[in-house]
Structure 1
Amino acid sequence: MEHLRELRNRLLVAVLAVVVGIIIGWIVFDPVWAFLKEPFCETPQAQQLRVGECTLTYGGIFQSFFLTLKVSALVGVVVSSPVWLYQIFAFVTPALYRTEKRYSFVFLGLAVPLFLFGAGLAYFIMDTSLAILLGFAPSDTVAIIQIDEYLNYVLIMLVIFGVSFELPLLLVFLNIIGVLPHATVKKHRRTVVFVMFVFGAVITPGGDPLTMLALAMPMILLYFVAELFMFLRERRMPAAEDFSHLSDDEASPLAEEPPLPEAATPLDDSAPERPGEDSGSSR
């Protein structure tokens, strides 16, 4: 019951922090929306409806309200992330050993910058990606991009790039806990590189070559960095006994039992008597 009570209290604190963050996001909606809209405003199609002005459309009465709510929720989750991340970490930490706590601090310290780096890369290439996708339309057409469609595209790009950059960190974690050895990673290196290119082509919303390469190439680079870490880590570890030559149904040989110590030999009756010892003769 004590753990459930602690979980309830920490969830309550996390939810309150997110609510406060959403309120802050509602207040700062205009500059945040201007920041999110900037990649689309860099494309020529953004000024087709009104020359000289970046224009997006919406087609429903409540669409503008839900747009504001969605952007505010995004800001709320990001702003309150130190609070709810700490609540999760504080709830899990007491069950970890000292070494596991040290690794968890390191992983948490690397996970956040990697996610931000991936999201920043997505934002940086988004204008070029949109220009490529919208450039396939005939010259006598007008692009009418609705707000919710564009915002969904932006959020998907940011989340996909951010989460994808966490995959090499997951490989390192599996290696540290002994699930994924470096030999396995090295054996399937070519397959993993090919799968990353396929993943970049399939998972990105637009599917254009630029976005695919922008996602796949950094992932491959981080993959090689993770593999190098695994190699150096296992090289420093003491060599374990190799049982790879044994089949699954074959038992490993038992160590030979050490020989028992020789029993003490009985005294020989013919041994000479020690000086001063009574020979047992009659008086």
Structure 2
Amino acid sequence: MARAKARRRDARARMPLSAHLKEFRTRLILATLGVAVGAVAGWFFYTPVFEALQEPVIAAADRDGAAVSVNFAGIATALDMQIKVSLVLGVVVSAPWWLYQLWAFVGPGLKAGEKRYAFGFLGTAVPLFFAGVALAWWVYPRAVDILIGFTPELASNFLDAQLFISFAMRLVLVFGIAFVFPVVMVALTWARVVKARTWLKGWRWAVLLIFVASAVLTPTPDVVTMMFMAVPLCLLYFGAVGIGLLRERTAAKKEARLAGQTGRDIES
């Protein structure tokens, strides 16, 4: 029984390209279904989430006495906003599920004895994703406060609801997904798709891209907000490289030991 399962796992690891594409489609469909289920749950939490998103706007209006509000420009805008918020909440709520599907797609590239690392992947990726979401939620009101502060005196600032929601939801997703990428790096190194030394050789470009992406994706013009995203990502990047190097060194020692043992067996 155990040998049969091992053969099936090994056969899956040697799947041709067409089979890998089919596997990718299956995992994508399962992940999408999970997000859809989460979106249904998110639909019922739209009101408290929207009220929380509005709080910085209301606070800025009360503090400065300016005409600042979220403006619904079209007859279907409110419905469209609720759908968008529900979908993003679905992505957040179902993060453990679609992260598992990501691992299940990468997993066949690992050896049978390495499947147990799925728990390590999920146990690291899920908290990091939610940590990124939490950091985005912390940055959001400060970003809104800074941006509204550019409104000239005696002027009104009617925020387009579509742009307002897109701004908030993009911030949450970008931070969450960005914090997961280092775990994906480790998974690719573990599956021997990308060598750790390849990640290490490109560290200068990686740091540059992280800072550029942080400057573009963070909505405020101040350096502090950008650093809140860039510095943790740089630390996570180098942490992922270190884990990958340690993994490759351990694997090389193990393979050398097995090769030496095989050579002695042949001689004897």
Normalised by the length of structure 2, the TM-score is 0.69
Find 1:31's aligned residue among 42, 48, 53.
48
After superposition, what is the alpha-carbon deviation per residue over 1:148-203, rounded to whole angstroms, capped at 9, x for unaligned? 22111011101111111122112212322334334333333333222211121123
2:54 aligned partner, one-letter code:
K
1:164 aligned partner, one-letter code:
A
Q: Could you say which residue in structure 1 is the equivalent of 2:160?
A: 146
Higher relative contact order (CA 8 A, sep 6+): 2
Shift of the 227–16 alpha-carbon distance from structure 1 to 2, 3 Å rule, reads closer
User: Which piece of structure 1 moves more, 137-146 or 152-161?
Assistant: 137-146
Summarize the alignment of residues 1-283 of structure 1 with structure 2, pairs less than 5 Å apart. Answer: 21-44=38-61, 48=65, 55-80=69-94, 97-238=111-252
1:115 aligned partner, one-letter code:
F
Shift of the 131–32 alpha-carbon distance from structure 1 to 2, 3 Å rule, reads closer
Structure 2 Cα separation of the partners of residues 159 and 210 of structure 1:
20
Aligned residues: 235
Structure 1 Cα separation of the partners of residues 240 and 183 of structure 2:
7
**Residues 46, 56 of structure 1: 8 Å contact kept:** no
Shift of the 170–181 alpha-carbon distance from structure 1 to 2, 3 Å rule, reads same
After superposition, what is the alpha-carbon deviation per residue over 1:91-144, rounded to whole angstroms, capped at 9, x for unaligned? 997897533422333222322211111111011011222222232332232211
1:56 match: secondary structure? strand
Shift of the 170–83 alpha-carbon distance from structure 1 to 2, 3 Å rule, reads closer
**Residues 21, 76 of structure 1: 8 Å contact kept:** yes
**Residues 47, 55 of structure 1: 8 Å contact kept:** no
2:157 aligned partner, one-letter code:
A
After superposition, what is the alpha-carbon deviation per residue over 1:229-272, rounded to whole angstroms, capped at 9, x for unaligned? 2233334343599xxxxxxxxxxxxxxxxxxxxxxxxxxxxxxx
User: Which piece of structure 1 moves more, 89-98 or 157-166?
Assistant: 89-98
**Residues 115, 163 of structure 1: 8 Å contact kept:** yes
**Residues 107, 191 of structure 2: 8 Å contact kept:** no
1:139 match: secondary structure? coil
Structure 1 Cα separation of the partners of residues 180 and 110 of structure 2:
22
- Is there any run of 5+ residues in structure 1 with no aligned partner, and where? 1-5, 242-283
* Same amino acid, percent of matched pairs: 38
Q: CA deviation at 1:41?
A: 3.9
Structure 1 Cα separation of the partners of residues 138 and 228 of structure 2:
10
Larger radius of gyration: 1
User: Which piece of structure 1 moves more, 126-135 or 152-161?
Assistant: 126-135
Structure 2 Cα separation of the partners of residues 235 and 212 of structure 1:
35
Shift of the 220–41 alpha-carbon distance from structure 1 to 2, 3 Å rule, reads farther
Q: Could you say which residue in structure 1 is the equivalent of 2:12?
A: none
Shift of the 210–19 alpha-carbon distance from structure 1 to 2, 3 Å rule, reads same
2:51 match: secondary structure? helix
1:143 match: secondary structure? strand
Q: Could you say which residue in structure 2 is the equivalent of 1:263?
A: none
Normalised by the length of structure 1, the TM-score is 0.66
**CA RMSD, Structure 1 to Structure 2 (Å):** 3.9
- Is there any run of 5+ residues in structure 2 with no aligned partner, and where? 1-22, 256-268
After superposition, what is the alpha-carbon deviation per residue over 1:2-50, rounded to whole angstroms, capped at 9, x for unaligned? xxxx999999987776555444333333222223333444445887466
